[in-house]
Structure 1
């Protein structure tokens, strides 16, 4: 049950930071960084990552052992850096490998491709990686929280 609660909280933090990420991405992409959508995406993800760290540390994974604060933050941002690459890679492929941008396509195709690659595919790749990595390295289960051996093993021990 704890795992599902953590996953729901992690998902809620993800939804909040998705809104932050999307808002910043489009604010930058449609204004001051219009010729640089990947740069816009990286900046948006970095801001969302900072908010994500604070919310995940204090809410989603607060019952886990973790590490000292500076080690935890270092690991969090290192893993999130890998996440930035995962978030940004589909947009980079869409733009610079598949050339789904103007003048090769229409403005509508460019916008749909940017949203699909940057906000959906990138988000799913980054989120799956971060969920796994945060639980494994940043907020590991506290040894005191590991439960007893499962009931079938206990029953077998009583039978012998």
Structure 2
């Protein structure tokens, strides 16, 4: 990616030395940021138009679309240096992990909507949407992201040893490049 190369060349060496060992995580977080924007735009677009009475369903649809985008970006960029699994096996594991992440993501929104009943007419439109954003888009996303980071590295895109075997719980020993 040309933008990343320019950014790396622009960074002072002191910062670059600290950033490079975490390049894989930073790429994962960039992909997550893109998926977050897609999820948020789709969630509120669907919630405000076709599914105003079903915020959890609207969020599930938005997260599913963003998950497909996330798989492509993670496979081709974030974790491009990892694994040697067959694509169908890798994709199946990715979507299982993403499905668990999707469930984790919905818990705070469900609690906000149906346990605390932060829905109209109990609260104003502004308060409902604020509660949905905080619980679904912020808290749910943070919890699901932490789970996905761990599970993607452990199960979906594990390290490959020199003899071609998968190392399921290894930490990265070499600092990957940002390109």
* C-alpha displacement of 1:147: 5.3
| Larger RCO, structures 1/2 (Cα 8 Å, 6+ apart) | 2
Task: Report the equivalent of 1:6.
Answer: 24
> Is residue 48 from structure 1 mapped to residue 66 from structure 2 by the alignment?
yes
Provide the TM-score with structure 2 as the length reference: 0.79
Q: Which residue of 1 aligns with 2:158?
A: 140
Shift of 1:14: 0.6
**Structural mapping, 1:34-113, within 5 Å:** 34-113=52-131
Unaligned runs of 5+ in 1: 149-160
Q: Supply the RMSD in Å over aligned alpha carbons.
A: 1.7
* Matching residue of 2:14: none
Native 8 Å contact 1:90 1:117 kept in 2: yes
CA distance in 2, matches of 1:38, 1:73: 25
How many residues in Structure 1 have an aligned counterpart in Structure 2? 148
- For each residue in 1:31-68, what CA deviation from the matched residue of structure 2 results, as whole angstroms up to 9, or x when unmatched? 01111110000000000000000000000000011411
Larger Rg: 1
- Spell out structure 1 runs of 4+ moving beyond 2 A: 144-148
Q: Cα offset for 1:109?
A: 1.3
CA distance in 1, matches of 2:120, 2:50: 18
Q: Is the 8 A contact 1:87 1:123 kept in 2?
A: yes
Structure 1 residues 38 and 54 mapped into 2: Cα distance closer, same or farther (>3 Å)? same
What TM-score, normalized to structure 1? 0.88
Establish whether residue 29 from structure 1 lines up as the match of residue 47 from structure 2: yes
Specify the SS of the correspondent of 1:45: helix
